Amino acid sequence: MEESLNIGVLISGRGSNLQAIIDGIEQGKVAAKISLVVSNNPDAYGLERARKHGIPAVVVDHRMYSTRQEFETVVIERLNEKGVELVVLAGFMRVLTEHFLKAFPLRVINIHPALLPSFPGVGVQAKAVDYGVRFSGCTVHFVNEGVDTGPIIAQAVVPVYPTDTGEILADRILKMEHQIYPKVIHWIAERRVRVEGRRVFVEGAKMDEEIAHIEPVA
Ligand code: GRF
């Protein structure tokens, strides 16, 4: 495998995406090394996951800082100490400002549980069900100053069924999150991802011939 990319993963909670990335690395499918996990929440279960796999994990509790900038400065320092090249947001519930993004230009990615630009923000799986869309999914994107507005790297689509609740749909989407996030990190590690304005190109990506999906099937 080629030289591995040094990544830092920022979490706030459960950390199931962190786990998917750890598993991908351990299985040799992702050419990356998690140099540090940072949680703003001391009770995040993801911290345990990191420790179980011998990955350094620290808490930077945002409540200890009076401004966003002070909080971010500490996170930047921790990441830089470990030589982090790519910052991976995995259920990280703080909005990052320009101050942070300038420290890692086009080097911060996020996963969002909807098909952006539809349903940015939080609680979006239930919003998709309530809206009545027939498809939803997840989006991996570069982070910019907006909320869930950065250039899109990859998306996965799932159907929304009449019997769905927000939780049922969230589970269906989460399975796809766990598939696409490790893949994207691997593409970035392989230096195959290029950004031109809002458009992101993945070198060597195949074009799927099967282009039409209809829902409901009736
Ligand atoms: C995921 O649904 C992700 O899309 C969103 O926050 C959730 C994090 O889940 N940004 P986990 O902590 O990775 O389990």
Nearest alpha carbon to residue 175 among 111, 118, 110, 93: 111
Averaged pLDDT, 4-10 = 97
Spacing, Cα 16 to ligand 1 middle (Å): 7
Predicted local confidence at residue 109, as pLDDT: 98
170 confidence band (pLDDT: 50, 70, 90): very high
Measured from the Cα of 16, ligand 1's closest atom is 14
Identify the CATH number of the domain in which residue 183 sits. 3.40.50.170
Averaged pLDDT, 4-30 = 98
Residues 41 and 97 in one domain: yes
Provide the domain limits for residue 189: 112-203
Does ligand 1 have an atom closer than 6 angstroms to the CB of 16? yes
Distance of CA 92 to the CA centre of its chain: 9
Residues 61 and 119 in one domain: no
Averaged pLDDT, 174-198 = 98
86-89 and 57-59 beta bridge pairing: unpaired
In a domain, residue 208? The reply is no
Average pLDDT, the chain: 96
Distance of CA 15 to the CA centre of its chain: 11
Spacing, Cα 203 to ligand 1 middle (Å): 27
Measured from the Cα of 11, ligand 1's closest atom is 12
Is the confidence at residue 33, as pLDDT, over 80?
Answer: yes
Does ligand 1 have an atom closer than 6 angstroms to the CB of 169? no
Q: Is residue 121 within 8 Å of 148, Cβ to Cβ? A: yes
Predicted local confidence at residue 208, as pLDDT: 79
Which of the listed residues 16, 39, 175 should we mutate to test ligand 1's pocket, taking the one with most ligand atoms within 8 A of CB? 16
- Looking at ligand 1, which residue's alpha carbon is closest to its atom 7? 91
Residues 186 and 118 in one domain: yes
108-112 and 86-89 beta bridge pairing: parallel
In a domain, residue 216? The reply is no
User: Residues 37-94: pLDDT tens digits?
Assistant: 999 999 999 999 999 999 999 999 999 999 999 999 999 999 999 999 999 999 999 9
Is the confidence at residue 26, as pLDDT, over 70?
Answer: yes
User: Residues 91-135: pLDDT tens digits?
Assistant: 999 999 999 999 999 999 999 999 999 999 999 999 999 999 999
Q: Of 76-80, 97-101, 166-170, 209-213, give the lowest mean pLDDT range.
A: 209-213
Go through 52-90 and write b for each residue having 16 or more CB atoms within 10 A of its CB, e for each that does not: ebebebeebebeebeeeeebbbbbbebbeebebbbbbbb
Q: What is the DSSP string of the chain?
A: -PPPEEEEEEESS--HHHHHHHHHHHTT-S-EEEEEEEESSTT-HHHHHHHHTT--EEE--GGG-SSHHHHHHHHHHHHHHTT--EEEESS--S---HHHHHHSTT-EEEEESS-TTSS-SSSHHHHHHHHT-SEEEEEEEE--SSSS-SPEEEEEEEE--TT--HHHHHHHHHHHHHHHHHHHHHHHHTT-EEEETTEEEETTPPPPS-----SS--
The number of folded domains in the chain is 2
Averaged pLDDT, 176-186 = 98
- Catalytic: which of 99, 112, 141, 178? 112
In a domain, residue 173? The reply is yes
Averaged pLDDT, 136-144 = 98
212 confidence band (pLDDT: 50, 70, 90): confident
Q: Is residue 71 within 8 Å of 38, Cβ to Cβ? A: no
In a domain, residue 5? The reply is yes
1 confidence band (pLDDT: 50, 70, 90): very low
Active site residue 99: no
Averaged pLDDT, 6-28 = 98
Residues 6 and 52 in one domain: yes
